[in-house]
Structures are given as C-alpha cells and as structure tokens.
A and B are shown apart, each in its own frame.
Chain A
Amino acid sequence: MKNKFHVPLLLLALACTHTVNAGETAAEDIPKYVVEDGKVDKATFNGYRRYHGTCHACHGQDAMGGSFAPALTESLKTVDYDTFVKTVMEGRQATASGGAVSAMPAFANDPNITKHLDDIYRYLAARSDGELGAGRPPKLPKPKK
C-alpha cells in the first residue's frame, strides 16, 4: 500500500537534496488523521501503537521527547511530510558544537516501520496539531458499510 509510492518519493527527495521542504507530495495525498472527541480512527490508532513499539525509545512517550531525541510534537510543526518520510527511511546524524554525536537510524529495512509509516505520521501530526492529547487514544467506532 503506502510503501508503493514511498520508494519513488524517496528517490525524488534524494535527487533534489535540500529542496525536500518544498513538499513534493500534493496536499491531498498527505495522510490525514481523524480525531473526534479525543477518539481516533483505526489508522491513527495504529500509528500510536507503532510509534510506541519503536520510536518512543528515543523520542519519548507520547512523542514528548526525552533526553535522547527531540519532541516530535514540536518537530512536526516545522517538518513536512516528505522530510518526515526521508528522515525515517534514511536516518540522520548530527554533531553538536561540543562534539556530541546524535544519530537517528535508517528504518528503510524495518517492516514494522515502513508498513505503518503513514499511520505513524497521522498519529504524530494529530499530536503536533494539538488535536490529540497524551496517552492511549480510544478508538472511534468502526465506520458502517
């Protein structure tokens, strides 16, 4: 599913380095979350769960950051969808002025992330937009067919 267009997206991002902030993905194609009265759709809930299966170890419970990595509730305010995808897939390393190295791993080979990347984005966007509080969100009832 989402994976199918993530790969070319990634290549595109690589081809035009430093311009990823322009937002290659059309607005209507960026994954959307649903939050109603603090309840979330299935995809956003899955994002909550997958985030707390892996990402939270560094980025903290509820994406609020820790001593190890930034709060994604803040980062997602300035990082767009394409940059988010690129960073998760490729990883990132940075050296602070004091020489301390911080490193985010590349998750391109981790199916526990790649298969759920859009859902993780949905969850983080909902947190970052202030639409979703901390903790395990209750699920909305399944939509009737």
Chain B
Amino acid sequence: MTLRNTTGYVAAVLAASTLAWSGANANDEVAALAADPANWAIPTGDYANTRYSKLSEINADNVGDLNVAWTFSTGVLRGHEGGPLVIGDTMFLHTPFPNRVYSMDLNDEGRIHWMYEPKQDPSVIPVMCCDTVNRGLSYADGKVFLYQADATLVALDEKTGEVVWSTSNGDAGKGETGTSAPMVFKDKVIVGISGGEFGVQGHLTAYNISDGSMAWRGYSTGPDDQTLMDPEATTHLGQPVGKDSGTATWEGDQWKIGGGTTWGWYSYDPDLNLVYYGTGNPSTWNPVQRPGDNRWSMTIFARDVDTGMAKWVYQMTPHDEWDYDGINEMILADQEIDGAMRKTLVHFDRNGFGYTLDRESGELLVAEKFDPAVNWATHVDMKTGRPQVVAEYSTHQNGEDVNSTNICPAALGSKDQQPAAYSPDTKLFYVPTNHVCMDYEPFEVEYTAGQPYVGATLSMFPAGRVTENGTDNLGNFIAWDATKGEIKWSNPEAFSVWSGALATAGNVVFYGTLEGYLKAVNAETGEELYRFKTPSGIIGNVTTWEHDGKQYIGVLSGLGGWAGIGFAAGLTGDTDGLGAVGAYKSLSSYTSLGGVLTVFSL
C-alpha cells in the first residue's frame, strides 16, 4: 500500500490492529476503507454499487500489455460468482458450497493466512435452485461476514478465522437458502434470502454486527407489521400504499408462500439513510394459481437502515407471468435529467426494462428497454408505472396448459444478478446482458414445504429466432445512458454475459464471458482492447485494487450458476430448424468446470 492514500492506510492499520472498532463506528471504518481505491473493501466496490475504481495505472493505452501476475485455485469446482475483498495487505476470498473462506497475504502472492470451512448438511445442495453459488463476503469491525448456503450468517475474526458469532437467517429444510453477499451499512449487516422456487416468504434482515442479534426484518409480503410499512407514510409512486398492502393483492394465504425473495445486491445512501434492493418472483411460476398484483414481489424497496421501515416501493412487474425477478442491483448515481440534477437510482431489471428513479421520492423518471428484443410489454406507463403487457405473451391470459411462445426475454431475464457498473467519467452504465427468449407453459402444482414449487416448463433459445435478424448471440455487453434510456453501444457475445462489470478511471471497462475470457474494452467506444482465456467460464465479478503501488485486476473463473447449468448442454429445439442459428453450440466445447482466481497486472 502506498502512503499517499493516507486515509485508507490509517483505517487499514487500525482495522488490522487488536483495537477493535466499536460497532457504532463500523460505518466510518468501512466508508474510509472503501473510499481508498487501493482497497476493494465491500463486495460492490462502494455503497452506491457503481463498481467504479479511481485507479488508472491500467488504462486504455496500456491494457493490451496486461499479464497474469498470479493465480489461485479455490479447491471447489462449482459456479464461482462474486469476487474477493481486498483490505490493505489482505485478500478475503469465498467459494461456492462448501463456502470456504480464505484469508490471503498479498505480500506473498496470495499465500494463505487461514482457511475456514463451515460444516453444512449436504442436503442444502439440491434446494439451491440455480447452483450452489455464493456472491461474496463483507468486512467490518475486525470481522469477516460469511452468509452460508444453509442461511447461517457467521462473523469470523479477521485475524484468525475463528467464529465470533453465528446466527440462522432461515430454514434450509423449507428451501430457505443463502447465496447473496452480506453488506455492512452503519452498525448492521444486511442479508437476504433465496428460495423463490420453494415458496418461501422473502425478507431482508439486519443483524447488529457487534453480536449477531437481529435488528429488524422486513418481509416482501404480509401484513404491515411484517412488511414494515406504514399505510400512509410508505408510498408507491407518490401514493400511500394503504393498509396491509402486502396481503391485499393476494388470494387467501398464498402470500405466506408467495416468494419475493431478496437474493440480489443491496445499496445504501448514507445521506438519505436508506437501503435499496429488489424482490424476486412471486411463487409459483404458474400465475393462474395466484391472481392479483402479488405485492410486493418484483418490487424496488427503499428502507430506513436503522428501523427497516419502508419509505417507498415501486412494483415493476405486477402479477409476474414470466419469472422476471426484480432482485438485480440498484446503482445510485447523481445525474442530470431534463436539465436538473437528480439523486437517481438505476436498475436493469430481468424484465428487460432499464429504470431510472428518484431515489429520495421513488418517482419514476425513465423506463426503456435495454434490449430491443424485449416483447412481453410494449412500454411502461409512466403515470401508473405498469408495464403494458402484450396479450400474445401473457402466460396467464393464454392460461394453464397452454404453451406461450417466443416471449422475450427468457426467464433468466435480459439481465440477471451479474452486476452492471457506472463510470462518472463517461456517465455511462456498462451492462452485462442476456439475449435469450423462451416458450413458457404454466401448469398446476401443489405446495409442500422444502420441495420445488415451480409450476411451469420453459425452453430457451437465442433471441435471433424471434427477431429473425439472422443473429444467434445469446448475450450483449452494452453501454447505457440512463438519463435518456438509450443504448450507446452494444457488443454481441456468443453466450450470456454472466459476469459483473468493472469501470475504471483508466477509460477501460472489464467483464468476463462464459467461455472464460476476461475482456477489457474502451469505455467510450466499446472497442475490445484485451482478452485472456482463464481456466473456466467466468460468472464472477471483476475487481481491482492496488498493492505496493501497482494496480491489479482480479476475477474468479468457475462455470456454473443458472447460465452454466442451462447452457452446458446446449439449447433446445431440434424440432424447428434451430441449427441455422447455431442453437447447438455448446459451452462444453469451450470450457469446463473450475474454481480459480486469476490476478492480472501490467
């Protein structure tokens, strides 16, 4: 670490010392660590989830000279999402199930200080819908926070790896599991819950970092005392939500198994004291079995960090009929819209719309398609906020046991959890996307606790089959102007881009591909400047840090996740001449399973 980053240096030294910071100061400590670009101190880079680094030693002029500095095998062969934390001289790295945590010495090319591996019942493996992924760790107050597959949240001593405290955030026997990265805001660590395909009742929960006691829990569905809503003060597009809005649009007790899980990313605005996140699909995938808007599934939430009370909500996809989870990251950026600076929140939803909202009031400012192939809705009505659903693609209107065809996007969305990045230099958002469409057939299912509760079959294929423009790419990496809702440039990718992006002050943007390439592109033009094929497909998020005055880029390889499962055997459709658009190209001819961190430098 260089001495010029004085603030971060002091913070890092203090953090590493035996003088533990008191819980109340954890926010200051984490904020100081994250403000120093030498660190990657929180999973999202910063509270605002921009994934932008001020480092510029590696830049558009020299990134072509990038080389591998060192590599590290995690010892686990599953989908590796997320990325490492770097704090001072130490890297903290997680793995998928069994959820190992490594503390590594950056002064010695990643030599292991300690390794922690929890004991978990393997029966949790098959109740994780889309691979045994984990999206990363958090750090504060001398503790490393791991959110295990079995929904146990543990705090580890950052010096020894010993468990300081441990608490259960869910029951894996009911299909409640953990995949998301915990986030530390103020003196709390925030965690969500996975299990939308098992009929869980989703919630976001805050634990006190000092002792692991629960501070608050806000459910996505349920009466006001569970959703932490005030009928008058909590608003939806400026209007009070009214009494028990989390049950009013459900039939009977379906809300109790109604999903609305919270397995994505969480952002935080310290000035407004609000945490932002999105909720997932309503359960089941068969919309006919759950009439109504199914509030507050598919919803952007703004909650008070101290109390959990919801300030405002916006439901993007009322009564979901396609599994368009709303859990993707909320990126906080101040932008000029119609001549006025606004505190905005930008969100690229599974449903294919890129939303820009005022993050203070929840006012909807922009809602435009970020993939031209999106066809399930014509547009979003800016007054009501409701997507205007095209009847042909409505799986509810078509009904149970009817195969609705050629719906774009597919259930995995125009974008899934793979996070976008925002550069304040170019004022552009860099978005890893999917370009996949589907057929979807809902049918009746019965609920049993801990068993899959899905109720639809679907098949997926390249969007080119629907747009009939002769393309067969399954993904695009795009640059987006969120003030207007316009694509600035778009690079086609053979497969879905399932890796999180990194923007840097060096005018370079990084991302990974499912074939295993780490790519660097010009932030202004999208021109490819560098690629390197890592040991396995990349579904991890690219990170950067500085050590001994040198900038490093790091990314996890390890094919898996929903994309890895879905595409490993190729896509469907030998019955309708898909060979012409190459639907059979298979990821397994490019890469295989892995679990490796690759670190680059000049």
- Which A residues fall within an 8 A CB radius of B? 38, 48-49, 52-54, 56-58, 60-62, 64-68, 71, 91, 93, 98, 100-105, 107, 109-113, 133-138
Contact = CB atoms under 8 A, between A and B. Distances in A.
Contact of A135 (B450, B452, B459, B593): B459
A61 B122 contact: no
Name the interface size band of chain B. 35 or more
Contacts of A54: 452, 454
Interface string B122-163: 110111011100000000000000000000000000000000
A-B pairs with lowest CB-CB distance, top 8: A52-B457, A64-B569, A110-B451, A66-B565, A105-B126, A103-B125, A135-B575, A101-B122
Given A53-B456, A57-B130, A64 B451 contact: no
A68 B569 contact: no
A110 B452 contact: yes
A107 B451 contact: yes
B445 interface: yes
B448 A68 contact: no
A62 B565 contact: no
B127 A109 contact: no
Contacts of B97: 101
Max chain A CB contacts within 10 Å: which of B439, B448, B576? B448
B126 A61 contact: no
Contact of A105 (B127, B439, B571, B572): B127
Given A60-B566, A62-B572, A67-B565, A53 B457 contact: yes
Given A53-B454, A93-B122, A66 B439 contact: no
A67 B79 contact: yes
B575 A112 contact: no
Contact of A103 (B123, B131, B576): B123
A66 B569 contact: yes
A33 to B, nearest CB: 17
Given A98-B77, A112-B446, A61 B451 contact: no
B92 to A, nearest CB: 22
B443 interface: yes
Contacts of B572: 61-62, 134-136
B182 interface: no
Given A54-B454, A100-B76, A61 B571 contact: yes
14 contacts: A49-B443, A52-B459, A57-B452, A60-B565, A64-B569, A68-B565, A71-B569, A93-B122, A98-B77, A101-B98, A101-B122, A107-B451, A112-B445, A112-B452
A98 B98 CA distance: 13
A62 B439 CA distance: 14
Contacts of A56: 457
B122 A103 contact: yes
A71 B588 CA distance: 13
B560 interface: yes
B565 A105 contact: no
Contacts of A101: 97-98, 122, 125
B568 A135 contact: no
A57 B569 contact: no
B451 A109 contact: yes
A118 B97 CA distance: 33
Contacts of A133: 574-575
Nearest to A115: B446
A49 B457 contact: yes
Given A48-B457, A101-B97, 5 more contacts: A53-B445, A57-B129, A60-B568, A61-B571, A134-B572
A93 B77 CA distance: 17
A49 B441 contact: yes
B460 interface: yes
A48 B572 CA distance: 13
A65 to B, nearest CB: 5
B573 interface: yes
B458 interface: yes
B570 interface: yes
A103 B443 CA distance: 27
B455 interface: yes
A54 to B, nearest CB: 5
B559 A110 contact: no
A91 B450 CA distance: 14
B264 interface: no
Contact of A134 (B75, B439, B454, B573): B573
A70 to B, nearest CB: 11
Given A61-B460, A67-B559, A135-B574, A111 B568 contact: no
A19 B122 CA distance: 26
Contacts of B448: 109-112
B403 interface: yes
